[in-house]
Amino acid sequence: MRRDSEKKYSDLEQCNLCEWRCGVDRLAGELGVCKVTDTEVHTSQLHPAPPASFDAFLIGCNFRCLACQNWPIAYRKEPGKKYSPREWARMGVKALESKEAARIGADRLFFTGGEPTIHLPWIEEVVREARKINPEIKVNFDTNGFMTPNSLKRIIRISDSITFDIKAYTEEMHRALTGAPVEPVLRNAEKIWKRAKEKLYEFRVLVIPGLSSLEISEICSFLSSIGDPPVLFLAFRPNFALDKYRGVYLSEMERCIEIARREGLSTVKWSGITGIPSLVNYEESGLELAKRVSRDSGCLRPENRKCELCFSVCPLEKYEPLRWT
């Protein structure tokens, strides 16, 4: 018989929270693509980055991004701590009532990772407990957009703001960078803007020179076709399997703003550090560069578009980057 606490998470008995739709019984310890059973929090902290908040960095992810900034969390390289929803909710509300929170303007709980969608039942319980303490508590959900339509409805229901990453536009590039298909991400981006635009904090686009940077026009054209949402371009910093690659130039970030405005987007900005030098000078670009980086890290995903079949023995999980910027 399931423990009473597990009954709240009954949809984990046949998990279909994200678009991998693995159908595994996570309560029984079965592993899907994300390889997560219980929710573990790597770090809980007040954070000034907009929106200023009290953050839960949740361990595990349903993507395998070559450029992962939080790879020890996403790839489960470091241990986390298990909290009951009530315990973490109390901690979060207390933190938001502190002088430090007032100093930085933190006004909400922020769920990130990794990818919080795979922890959705736990997050829903946290939000319920937090709003018992303070009915006005705000919530931000930071996502890669790879959730099912049902999960998206649930996320919109509990969230006051949503930060949403778009990694690429074409199927080939998205598969090469993340290991996952792009259609669910674009579908969910459109649904959020059309059904809950007041809750979209911004779409975020990581600009990787010679990779995602080649699709900025397509991404901006897509976003313009659904409306005029706010967009933040993030400057790529060498990380994880792209640790040897160069950072993005200032001119490249400025070019993204120009392209976005040309495509009709009015609320656009960029953030990050530019000009980080490379450790290896790659001659390739685009998919050829993705293939080169994948091969160097032991992964052949650009040649094998069935990336989901390799998650149980994903070679990227063993990759140890030379630097973390």
Over its length of 325 residues, how does the chain's per-residue pLDDT go in tens digits? Answer: 244 445 578 899 999 999 999 999 999 999 999 999 999 999 999 999 899 999 999 999 999 999 999 999 999 999 999 999 999 999 999 999 999 999 999 999 999 999 999 999 999 999 999 999 999 999 999 999 999 999 999 999 999 999 999 999 999 999 999 999 999 999 999 999 999 999 999 999 999 999 999 999 999 999 999 999 999 999 999 999 999 999 999 999 999 999 999 999 999 999 999 999 999 999 999 999 998 998 888 887 766 555 666 667 788 888 999 998 8
Asked if residues 270 and 236 have their Cβ atoms less than 8 Å apart, the reply is: no
Residue-number span of the structural domain to which 200 is assigned = 27-318
Residue 177 is part of a domain; what is its CATH number?
3.20.20.70
Is residue 304 in a domain?
Answer: yes
Based on the structure, what is the number of domains in the chain? 1
Is residue 126 in a domain?
Answer: yes
Q: How far is CA 283 from CA 17, 116, 167, 303, 306, in A?
A: 40, 36, 22, 19, 27
Is residue 40 in a domain?
Answer: yes
Sequence-separated (6 or more) residues with CB below 8 Å from residue 87: none
Sequence-separated (6 or more) residues with CB below 8 Å from residue 78: 42, 59, 72
CA 157 to chain centroid, in Å, comes to 19
Q: Shortest CA distance to 116 belongs to which of 67, 48, 49, 163?
A: 163
Q: Structure pTM?
A: 0.95
Is residue 287 in a domain?
Answer: yes
Residue with tokens 């939000």: 127
Sequence-separated (6 or more) residues with CB below 8 Å from residue 225: none
